[in-house]
Structure 1
Amino acid sequence: MAFYMLALIVLLIDQGSKWWIRVHMFVGEQRNVLAPYLHFEYYQNSGAAFSSFQGYGKWFAYLAVVVVAALIYYRVNGAIRGWVLELAAGFIAGGALGNALDRLIFGKVTDFIVWGSGSGIMNIADLAINAGVILLIVGMLIRSWQDKRSYSFK
């Protein structure tokens, strides 16, 4: 249940934050939030991460749907178990769906979060996907450690 709830919460926060940016800022506008550590800059990305593959965003929406379907499949079949992997999958699914919705509805993703001096621009969905990948790695390491530990005691 945590998987579905977290995915929904991430999706709602992501879409709400993007709506706020689209309503209150114009493309290219910048607003300091916690200078010099964080500012918002409204950007529309029609591609993928780091503005690569510009114009091919809709294909990444379809890929996101496949990723979410795979996460649900593996979760139902027991490959994703334990709270760390549940959280990882929820973050990844919510983030993937958030960016997929943008791509399908607007043809591009609304990005606005810039850390530091501008090493890249992202949104809540991107942050959730990054958090999910980190948790996925941690969860796999924990599972591997537990498997080795239980094997060594047999």
Structure 2
Amino acid sequence: MVFYILSLIVLLIDQGSKWWVRNHMSLGEYRSVLDPYLHFEYYQNSGAAFGSFQGFGKWFAYLAVVVVGVIIYYRFKGVLNGIVMELASGFIVGGALGNALDRFFFGKVTDFIVWGSGSGIMNFADLAINAGALLLIVGMLLRSRRERRSYSIK
């Protein structure tokens, strides 16, 4: 249940924040939040991370749908079980769906979060995907450690 709730929360926060930016900021507008550590700058990304593959955003929307399908498949198979994996998959699915919706409906992803100076620009979906990837690694390391312990006990 954690997976579904977290996916929905991430999706709602992501889409809500992007809606706010699109309706309250002009393209390229800069807003100080916690300078020099954090500011908002409205940007439309028609590609992938770090501005790569500009104009090919729709393909990444299809890729996101495939990733969501793979995660749901492995959840049903019981591979992604446990709280860490629930959180990891929830963050990844919510973030992937958030960016996929932007790509399908607008042809671009709304980015606006800038950490520090020149570290790239992102949105809440990107943050969630990164958090999910880190949690996925932690979950796999914990599972590997548990399996080694149970194997050495036998």
Q: TM-score, normalised by structure 2?
A: 0.99
Q: Counterpart of 1:75?
A: 75
Counterparts of residues 8-19 of structure 1 (less than 5 Å): 8-19=8-19
Quote the residue 1:142 is aligned against: 142
Cα deviation per residue 1:65-117 (whole Å; 9 max; x = unaligned)?
A: 00001100000110101000110000000000000000000000000000001
SS of alignment partner, residue 78 of structure 1: coil
Q: Secondary structure at the match of 1:104?
A: helix
Structure 1 unpaired stretches of 5+: none
* Match of residue 34 from structure 2: 34
1:38-57 alignment, distance < 5 Å: 38-57=38-57
Give 1:31 deviation, angstroms.
0.3
**Offset of 1:118 from its aligned partner?**
1.9
Secondary structure of the structure 2 residue equivalent to 1:39: strand
Partner Cα distance (1:31, 1:118) in 2: 15
Considering only aligned residues, what root-mean-square deviation do their CA atoms show, in Å?
0.4
Identity of aligned residues (%): 77
In structure 2, C-alpha distance between the alignment counterparts of 1:48 and 1:117, rounded to whole Å: 20
Gaps of 5+ in 2: none
Q: Matches of 1:110 and 1:100 in 2, distance apart?
A: 11
Q: 2: CA distance between counterparts of 1:87 and 1:14?
A: 16
The secondary structure found in structure 1 opposite 2:5 is helix
| Paired residue secondary structure (2:114) | strand
Structure 2 partner of 1:95? 95
TM-score by length of 1: 0.99
Runs of at least 4 residues of structure 1 off by over 6 A?
Answer: none
